[in-house]
Each structure stands twice: as C-alpha cells, then as structure tokens.
Amino acid sequence: MSRIKTNLRLARKRRIRAKVRGTADRPRLTVHRSLLSMSAQIIDDVARRTLCSASTKEVKAKATVEGAKKVGALIAKKAKDAGITTIVFDRNAYKYHGRVRALADAAREGGLTF
C-alpha cells in the first residue's frame, strides 16, 4: 500500500474513533479485515478491556462474505453469553459494504443492537 493511501486510511480511522467510544453499558464492536483473515472484538474503552473476540481462524473459514457472516454470528453469541446486548459499531476506516456489512448484519441477526 502506498504511503498516501495509508495516511488517508489512518485519517479516516482517527475521524471515526473521535466519534465512537465504547462504555461498560455500550461497548464498541471493532472490525479488522485483511486479505487472509477477519476479526471482531468487543471492547470497553473506559476500562480498556477486550470483553470478547472472534476471527475467521476460530470458525475455520476464509476471509469472504460467508466467513464474515460466521464471525458476526459467533461474536453475537459470545456477547450474549457475556451479557452484552447493545453495542457501538466501529467499522475501523473500512467502507460499510461487503465483508464488513455482512459481519454487522450477522451480529444484528444474532441479537446485538447497534
């Protein structure tokens, strides 16, 4: 990735993170995607703790839309087991389409409220 693209992505990330903050009542669901894997974490920013996480490696799936749906369903299940129902979604400088959208939709279907 070129330096300019990286700087633009990091600027988008800072802009989003300035507005999105997770608390104990509404933790933050953050998404990370790469070419080979995809992961999601639910984070309490006040306590600076990761409450639960899921990845394509955990569900033994590829980093595709179908794999993202499996990760979204798993993170929703883990969140419900931890007593979390309401979250704030952090797309982490990625466009809200494709794999990121599939993960978010699967998490909503799993019972999480954004």
What's the pLDDT band for 2 if we cut at 50, 70, 90? confident
Instruction: Domain ranges for the chain, please list them.
Output: 3-109
pLDDT, tens digit (0-9, with 9 covering 90-100), for 61-83: 999 999 999 999 999 999 999 99
CATH number of 3-109: 3.30.420.100
* Amino acid at position 31, single letter: V
Q: Which helix (H) or strand (E) holds 53?
A: strand 49-55
pTM (global) more than 0.75: yes
Q: CB-hemisphere CA count at 13 Å for 93?
A: 16
pLDDT, the chain, mean: 93
